[in-house]
Chain A
Amino acid sequence: MGKYKTYLAGYAFLLPWLIGFFALTLGPIIASLYLSFTKYDLLTSPEWIGTKNYVSMFTDDYRLKDSIWVTMKYVFLSVPVRLSFALAIAMLLNQGLRLLNLYRTIYYIPSLLGGSVAISVLWKQVFDKEGVFNQGLAMVGIEGPAWISSPSYAIYSLIGLSVWQFGSVMIIFLAGLKQIPTELYEAATVDGAGKVRQFAKITMPLLTPVLFFNLTITLIQSFQTFTKAFIISGGSGGPINSTLLYSLYLYIKGFTFLDMGYASAMAWVLLFIIAIITGLLFLSSRYWVFYSDGGK
């Protein structure tokens, strides 16, 4: 009886989450699976068309090809750069600095603001052809290109914005670094290992669980990036589809072209892509992630 009561209390505490999950997450997920097999324009009722949405995604959607290519470029460039950058800053801050909390806060600020529309708008101004960044370059005699409005550079300005939001990743790295026992470094120093060797043989191996976590989270986030691309390209994904990230194209399909069935199918394909990549990451983790407690 007492045991039953404990369970009940447990579920009662879980209730808010459970309601949220079933009403706001699971239900809609199932609905979107259904919608992905329909032609649905938002305003009239969905009409069953079988796998046609999926078929045309793979056979005749020139924009989707562009979009996947742009998204891959974005993910596979921004994730490593963002992680290395965050790690470098974390190590810098891990030198026993005074005012560490202050620095930590300052470096975290971009992440707090980063997802916001305002920062994207600001970014657009800074990297405009006549923006602050190019004015700075002009002072040292370099004529910068139009970072935002040229199809060859636009995606890099998005990647730059993503890298700049390294704060949360950095905080986690910093916490990981603080966990590494200092004795290890002392022992290594006594044995004559240099800084580089210490990094390669002590820091990196002991940091791999944190790295794995950051990598997974950042990868998933990057695949789902929307706001930056939407604001910076004015909702178009242009010029010439060069910033047409997957989620942005999904939005355009659903809300501009009113093809919600197709957009739902795209969402499922994205889920699939992310699942495969994350799955591979987990499979690979046993070969490179080192848990000092044996992963138990």
Chain B
Amino acid sequence: MLRKKPLFAALATCALLLSACGNANDSKSGSGAASPSASAKASEKPSNVELRMAWWGSQERHDKTLAAIELFEKQNPNIKITAEYSGMDGYFDKLNTQIAAGNAPDLIQMGGNIMEYVGRNALLDLQPYVGNAIRLEDFDQSLINEATADGKLYGVTLGVSQTALLFNATMFNKAGVPVPNGESWTFDDFKNSALQISEKLGKGFYGSYDLSSDNASFTTYLAAHGKELYRSGELKFDKQDVVNWFSMWDELRQAGAIVPAEVQVANPPDAVDKSLIVKGQVAIQGASASQIFGYQALTEDQLGLLPNPAGPAGNGMSPPVSGQFITSYEGTKYPEEVAKFMDFMVNDPEAAVILGSTRGVPPSAKIRDALSAESTPVDKILYDYISLATKISTGNGYEHFPYDNEFIKLLKLTSEKIAFGAASIDSASEEFMTEMQKMLARANQ
């Protein structure tokens, strides 16, 4: 009976397969740059090419991307693209496993963590294709820099975005609460709006989600108070900041202005179809600006975007950055075709119309101009928001904490402990600091 260990065996199996393939990868990347092999492969000119493409997003993005792929296949009958799409949940878990096993998709959508994968030699160097297959002339240089390391390009940005507060304007109107002026609003304004909305609309309606567990909101809050989460190997905040953060949310919680813990666990804001903002029960939540399309597609209510409220040191937001990149797996067999599709996604006018701004404001100035004629009201909200954010952002860029995923989970755990009343703000904040210090020590070893 002891032999029956399916889970354990499965894990061990993965581990073995992974380690074997990991070695294969190492030897490959050690043998030299990607360009000579790329040209060798190009000379074969395969008649039928099958590519795989992975991305995450909401249904709205899936539909648009699938339509764009269909158009591409029509223009290039010898190329077939198999779509592997999902929600954000588990996307990177799966990708990591695929990369380690050596069978990652040829085309991979990446987020702000692109450099992590560059560092692990998982992504294809696209530099040989820049200027011919991939045209970047109409791109802002900063967007190209974001995906460049050691003079090599590893990704093509698909859109510009920024973290934002997504709000339900219809609820503001119903409650008779004026929509705040994003350029000047402060944390006090935020609190007042949340309190008023929940008070006016009554039981079951809330001014805001409980964003104390939201890592983007927390880091922006720190910046708005002249602090930072992390920079150059150090934590740039102390326990008092954490206590202040959770106290602010606790005050709103006691007043019934934010979503109670149980309801939030059952209806997490980041699940588009569960979000109560879509159901008109919660007025504010955190999101990446370009996600507004996914949420707006599910509701009749009018949604909008606001920047984070300002603190004594400004609003602490970082300037808008590339929200997502299209990258290629280092082991792809068809780099030429991959490059062609990347270019298609960002430079083809027809594809641009299909894709719209589902991954943020398109990076190419030419495409932006072409799109402005066709822009929808939601496009306009996004564009206006991005220009506002560019204008008012005071933060100087977010430096990723070395164990970002663990920090995100820890913040959520701390927030839940306080929200469910399982720990006092003081002891939970103390524990938060201790664990952050431990992670830091591990990173600096």
The interface of chain A, by Cβ under 8 A from chain B, is 24-25, 27-29, 31-32, 35, 40-46, 60, 62, 128-129, 146, 148-151, 216-217, 220, 224, 226, 234-236, 238-241, 247, 250, 252, 254-258, 260, 263-264, 267, 270-271, 274-275, 278
Contact = CB atoms under 8 A, between A and B. Distances in A.
Nearest to A153: B262
B36 interface: no
A29 B262 contact: no
Contacts of B13: 24-25, 28
Contact of A32 (B11, B97, B405): B11
Given A43-B22, A43-B120, A128-B266, A28 B420 contact: no
A278 B1 contact: yes
Contact of A255 (B2, B97, B417): B97
A224 B7 contact: yes
B26 A238 contact: no
Interface string B1-15: 110111111011111
Interface string B58-95: 00000000000000000000000000000001101100
B271 to A, nearest CB: 8
A42 B16 contact: no
B96 A42 contact: yes
Given A28-B9, A43-B120, A247-B7, A240 B15 contact: no
Contacts of B117: 43
Contacts of A217: 1, 4
A43 B119 CA distance: 10
Contact of A240 (B89, B97, B417): B417
A275 B3 CA distance: 10
Nearest to A60: B438
Interface in B98-151: 99-100, 117, 120, 122
Given A42-B18, A60-B438, A235-B90, A220 B9 contact: no
A46 B26 CA distance: 12
A45 B11 contact: no
Given A35-B15, A238-B265, A264-B15, A255 B4 contact: no
Given A148-B265, A258-B96, A271-B8, 9 more contacts: A25-B13, A29-B8, A42-B97, A44-B120, A129-B262, A224-B8, A240-B416, A257-B403, A267-B12
A267 B8 contact: yes
A144 to B, nearest CB: 12
A255 B96 contact: yes
Interface in B1-49: 1-2, 4-9, 11-19, 22-23, 26
Nearest 6 A-B pairs (CB), nearest first? Answer: A28-B12, A149-B265, A32-B12, A28-B16, A31-B16, A43-B120
A44 B30 CA distance: 13
A197 to B, nearest CB: 33
26 contacts: A24-B13, A25-B13, A28-B9, A28-B17, A29-B12, A31-B12, A32-B8, A32-B11, A41-B120, A42-B96, A62-B431, A146-B262, A149-B264, A216-B1, A220-B1, A224-B5, A235-B89, A238-B265, A239-B261, A239-B420, A240-B417, A252-B409, A255-B93, A255-B97, A256-B92, A256-B409
Nearest to A264: B15
A220 B5 CA distance: 8
Give the contact-size bracket for chain B: 35 or more
A205 to B, nearest CB: 22
Given A149-B263, A255-B93, A240 B422 contact: yes
Nearest to A146: B262
Interface string B260-281: 0111111010010000000000
Given A32-B15, A224-B6, A255-B97, A234 B268 contact: yes
Contacts of A250: 11
Contact of B405 (A257, A267, A271): A257
B22 A148 contact: no
Contacts of A150: 262, 265, 420
Contact of B416 (A44, A216, A239, A278): A239
B412 interface: yes
B114 to A, nearest CB: 14
Interface in B405-445: 405-406, 409, 412-413, 416-417, 420, 422, 431, 435, 438
A247 to B, nearest CB: 6
A146 B260 CA distance: 12
A134 to B, nearest CB: 11
A260 B90 CA distance: 16
Interface centre among B15, B18, B263, B406 (most CB of A within 10 A): B15
A18 to B, nearest CB: 14
A260 B17 CA distance: 13
A46 B420 contact: no
A231 to B, nearest CB: 11
Contact of B265 (A35, A46, A239, A264): A239
A226 to B, nearest CB: 6
Contacts of A25: 9, 12-13
A54 to B, nearest CB: 16
A260 B93 contact: no
A260 B416 contact: no
